[in-house]
Amino acid sequence: MTSTNSGVTAPSGTTANSVSTAPSGTTATGSPCAPRTARFDGAVRRAVADGLLGEQQPVAGFLDVDGVRDSVTALMDAFAAVPGTPVLHTFAAKAASLVPVLRLLADCGMGCEVASPGELRLAVEAGFAPERIVLDSPAKTREELRLALALGVAVNADSPGELRRIEELRSPGSSSVLGLRVNPQVGGGSIGAMSTATATSKFGVALRDPGAREQVVRAFAERSWLTRLHAHVGSQGCPLELIAEGIAETYRLAEEINESVGARRITGIDIGGGLPVNFAGDEVRPAFTDYVAALRAAAPGLFDGRYDLVTEFGRSLLAKNGFIGARVEYTKEAGGRRIALTHAGAQIATRTVLMPDAWPLRVGVFDADGSPGERPPMVQDIAGPCCFAGDVVAHGRELPELREGDYVVLYDTGAYYFSTPWAYNSLPRPAVYGFSGGPDGAALRFAPVRDAQSLDSVALESGLEHADALTGLGGRR
């Protein structure tokens, strides 16, 4: 069992995904972790005092705006340390599909990577210029492609079939940068579902399959408008060495294509994102500087200025800058163990509940007034509100004793968790707030990102307007 601050525990046996150059107790930019912890403690206290967390609103998500800005700066600085290489940093919209968050990232100078018509709409609404948007998806419809090409959004085709479809739909004057995604088939990490460069991955053209590499070279030779290669090896559970190996293989393919064509056909390489996150403690590791160092070691020519680069980071920018706060509704005993029933379960921590070993979260305990819990520790389960037995976000954690009306905090949940809830049991989506300011709770400022979903909205989404549609369709004869 490890502890990061008063009342905060991480599951024993949690390990980092990669080696970090950042010293213990510091962030990737070298600043102490304490300010983030203090800001989060202050945010919980202030949220309870202001009624953003409480009996009327028993669960909410919170995003540290200052931390997000710092993470974007760390990313940009890491790549800027290698001058002469143009880089478009895009944010993977799926990691936080909330318009105010996307607009914040646009304001920080990011572009946006989208993977659905809905995400494309959100990116446009958030204010990203079309030329700073990249569309990725293995199943784009003709209508989706028509819209992207009309807007001038960059598109990475996922298959030879999609290339042919783009060829049919594009106009000669389209300003869209067009690329092809390849699968370097370098293997997977410790979480299979997050590994996209395995032998049978659904993504991209599998380069090591018989004849596939030659097919890719021909595709570029025959299409002068095809100018970008794209690869994404995976994310959580994938070590830096594996990610770098996949990007290096993609770089070598770009060199091969340009040599075969006899011209600089490929002018850009989209290297994806996927930097893993340390869920075991406050330290940001691996850092973006570690990532750049691994790429430079594996493919030095990638940074010599001949190729424009595109990145697509998501989780690594936001995860550690957010948390979920939830009220303890009841406590009970079962089999000699204390169980705290909260409002944070599978509906907002889906991966953690369904794959607890792969996605463990640190848990903090706070008293009813929002101050850090300091009661004697005891082994407890932290369970959610969903009506199935497995809805437990933390099993057997040694935490300060929880009581009705206290609060638990799930750390490192700024990406995916509260922004993409699961509608299990028709539970309403929680409110999300951004905050900014110093460690003193009184100095913090909150801003709404998404309002809590009303029960009227839940009913409408469940077909209320068509309530009689089935009873009036046919009948017994």
Q: What is the pLDDT of residue 315?
A: 95
* pLDDT, greater one: 245 or 199: 245
Least confident of 13-22, 284-293, 397-406: 13-22
CATH 3.20.20.10 assigned to 67-317: yes
| C-alpha dist (Å) from residue 466 to 140, 197, 352 | 30, 44, 35
What amino acid occupies position 428? P
| Alpha carbon distance 131, 137 (integer Å) | 18
Least confident of 26-35, 47-56, 229-238: 26-35
- Boundaries of every domain in the chain: 2-64+319-461, 67-317
pLDDT in tens, 102-157: 999 999 999 999 999 999 999 999 999 999 999 999 999 999 999 999 999 999 99
Q: How confident is the model at residue 188 (pLDDT cuts 50, 70, 90)?
A: confident
Torsion of CA 202, 208, 210, 213, to 10 degrees: 100
Tell me whether domains 2-64+319-461 and 67-317 share a fold. Answer: no
pLDDT in tens, 414-435: 999 999 999 999 999 999 999 9
Q: For 127, left (φ over 0), alpha (ψ -120 to 50), or beta?
A: left
Q: Which residue has the tokens 């070598």?
A: 252
Q: How confident is the model at residue 237 (pLDDT cuts 50, 70, 90)?
A: confident
Burial state string for 259-297 with b = 16 or more CB within 10 A and e = fewer than 16 = eeeeeebbebbbbbbbbbbbbbbbbbbbbbbbbbbbbee
pTM of the prediction?
0.91
CATH 2.40.37.10 assigned to 2-64+319-461: yes
Q: How confident is the model at residue 385 (pLDDT cuts 50, 70, 90)?
A: very high
